[in-house]
Amino acid sequence: MGDHEAEIPTDSVTLAGELVVPENASGVVAFAHGSGSSRFSPRNNFVAERIRERGVGTLLFDLLTETEDRTYETRFDIDLLVERLLAATDWLREQSETEQLHLGYFGSSTGAAAALRAAARRDDVDAVVSRGGRVDLAHDAIPNVNAPTLFLVGSKDTAVLSLNQREYERLTCEKELTVVEGASHLFEEPGKLAEVADAAADWFEEHLEAN
C-alpha cells in the first residue's frame, strides 16, 4: 500500500494532505471536509479506512490553511472550496499512482457542496458521496452532476434531511438517498458512523471498479 504526505499547490497556498493507495487500486476518493474540520477529521478517517479496505485509495487534505480556517466567512466560501478541491483533483491526475484511476468525491457538510459543484465541472468524476451534506449550497450545480451520487443523512438531522430531499429530486444522474435511522448530524450514535462508512464504501466499490 502506497502511503505518503501530499503537498497540493493552488494559486495562492500549498495544502497539506495524505494519499493512501492500496495495491492494485481501482479508484481513488478525494475527501472534502466540512467547516472547522481538517484532514485529521476522525469521522472522515474512519470512513477512509473502510474505503481502502475495498481496494480504493483515499486523499485526505486540508481545504483551508490554519490561518484561513480561523475566518468564519472563509469556511463558508464554497467557491474557494471548489477551487481547492479541483486543484487537488488536478494534483491526483499528475501522480503516477493515481493518474489513471477512477475518481470519486466524498464530501461532508459544506464539503459536500464543494464536491457536487466540482463534480458538475469535470467529466472524469465517477462517483460522489455526501455525508450530512449542505447540498443546498450547490443548488445551481445540482442538475449538472453526471456522476452517480449518494446522499447519506441522519433521520434526526431534520433540517439537513429536508434540504437533501429537496435537492435529491433535482439530481438527474444515477442517485440514491439513504436515511440513517436514529442518527444525528455527526452520526455520533453507536454504530451509525459504521453504517455511513459501509454505505460509502459500497458505493465507491461499485462505481470505481476497473473496466
Boundaries of domain holding 87: 2-207
Neighbours of 100 (CB within 10 A): 7
Reported as a single tens digit per residue, the pLDDT across 15-54 is 999 999 999 999 999 999 876 667 888 889 999 999 999 9
Reported as a single tens digit per residue, the pLDDT across 129-146 is 999 999 999 999 999 999
Q: Is the dihedral of CA 13, 18, 23, 27 positive or negative?
A: negative
Task: Output the domain CATH number for residue 92.
Answer: 3.40.50.1820
How many structural domains are present in the chain?
1
Confidence (pLDDT) at 35:
67
Banded model confidence at residue 2, pLDDT cuts 50, 70, 90: low
Residues 196 and 202: their CA atoms lie apart, in Å, by: 10
